[in-house]
Structure 1
Amino acid sequence: MKANSFYLAAALALSAIALPAYAQHSMTPEQKAEAAAKKAEAEAAAAAAAAPAEPVASGDVDTSERTIWDGVFTAAQAEAGKALYTTNCQTCHGATGRGGPGGPAITGAFFNKNWVDSSVLDFYTFAHTQMPPGKAGTIGNEQDYVNIVAYVLEMHGADPGASEMVYNEDQLGNIFIVKKP
């Protein structure tokens, strides 16, 4: 289920069962109990949707062949990746990914020169096993690195979409880095 449609459904469910206080006084005890149960169920569903994601099984992700220009990550992922990038990568690669005094660019022509015709899995693997230099793999878990990759793709010009990019080798291996069409 797509996150946006889930949040919309949860909001509609909550608004439908959240009766104004003045209307509740005319309800029977059974109606009040039923309304309270529906509200609790909707709140639990909304809380579950807001909880951190668990690792995704390979059968639960889109593993079709796509490019970085096909909306392969969400805006929320790019935002999460931005926070990690700012803390761990920006010093070397610059605020916009165009390089800095301590490191090369990771967007634009440099990105194209080094990564076109590669998969996102290739780029992810490099980032996870080589970055930051001397402390590779210390930024966080696999999904944290995927989120950083999502942010780098956004800085490179790719737009977020509805598909979530997760740490899944089949999915990442079937998303290809190509020049903007």
Structure 2
Amino acid sequence: MLRLRFILPVMALGLAAGTAMAQMGPSSVWQGIYTPDQAARGDGVYQQACGACHGAALGGTGEAPPLIGGEFISHWDTMTVGDLYDRVRTTMPQNNPQSLTREQYADVLAYLLKANGFPEGAVPLDRRSEVLATIGITAEKPASGATGQ
């Protein structure tokens, strides 16, 4: 009985925290999940660390795929920003994976989101995978009012 008195409140607290976290943050890339300053920083990091392979204009070169346009968006459609972040963070730059800080990877991701037409917001893109995993990527903009704004 003592164990049950301890477990039930802990479970309730965990559920409440998970619900609160889901309600607090955006759940779509269409909700403005990065700032203009963050995207600008990301542009600089991208040009230095990524542009040689993916092209200065994000169009891809050789075997490096484009990071802008329909092919890129359709590849990530229905996945999460966390999926994209973890892929970039753990595999790029190809010659030196995980060589940037988490903040720099988030900045680069903000730049990619901006370049692909997703709206800016007032709060910088988070650097934590578990937070980014709650934000969905959808190719098509939801109908007005469906973005939670």
For residues 93 and 148 of structure 1, the distance between their equivalents in structure 2, rounded to whole angstroms, comes to 13
TM-superposition CA deviations, 1:103-124 (whole Å, max 9, x none): 1101211212211111111000
Instruction: Compute the displacement of 1:142 (Å).
Output: 0.7
1:135 to 96, 99, 103: 96
3-state secondary structure, aligned to 2:126: coil
| Correspondence 1:162 to 2:122 | yes
What does residue 132 of structure 2 align with? 172
TM-superposition CA deviations, 1:21-54 (whole Å, max 9, x none): xxxxxxxxxxxxxxxxxxxxxxxxxxxxxxxxxx
Q: Is the 8 A contact 1:90 1:97 kept in 2?
A: yes
**Equivalences for 1:95-110 in 2 at 5 Å?**
95-110=56-71
After TM superposition, the score normalised by the length of structure 2 is 0.74
What does residue 31 of structure 2 align with? 70
1:91 to 24, 39, 52: 52
Work out the number of aligned pairs and report it.
121
Please list every run of 5 or more consecutive structure 2 residues that lacks an aligned counterpart in the other structure: 1-19, 142-149
**Equivalences for 1:1-181 in 2 at 5 Å?**
64-138=25-99, 140-181=100-141
What does residue 147 of structure 2 align with? none
After TM superposition, the score normalised by the length of structure 1 is 0.61
User: Could you tell me the percent identity over the aligned residues?
Assistant: 27
C-alpha distance 63-165 of structure 1, shift in aligned 2 (>3 A): farther
User: Which sits farther off after the overlay, 105-114 or 120-129?
Assistant: 105-114
Residue type at the aligned position of 2:77: V
For CA contacts below 8 A with separation 6 or more, give which structure has more relative contact order.
Answer: 2
For residues 145 and 170 of structure 1, the distance between their equivalents in structure 2, rounded to whole angstroms, comes to 15
Instruction: Compute the displacement of 1:63 (Å).
Output: 5.0
Q: Is the 8 A contact 2:54 2:60 kept in 1?
A: yes
User: Which sits farther off after the overlay, 105-114 or 85-94?
Assistant: 105-114
For residues 65 and 95 of structure 1, the distance between their equivalents in structure 2, rounded to whole angstroms, comes to 30
Displaced runs of 4 or more, over 3 A: none
Instruction: Compute the displacement of 1:77 (Å).
Output: 0.6
Q: Is the 8 A contact 1:63 1:170 kept in 2?
A: no
User: Which sits farther off after the overlay, 93-102 or 83-92?
Assistant: 93-102
Residue type at the aligned position of 2:116: H
Instruction: Compute the displacement of 1:102 (Å).
Output: 4.9
Residue type at the aligned position of 1:145: Y
- What RMSD in Å do the two structures reach over aligned CA positions? 2.0
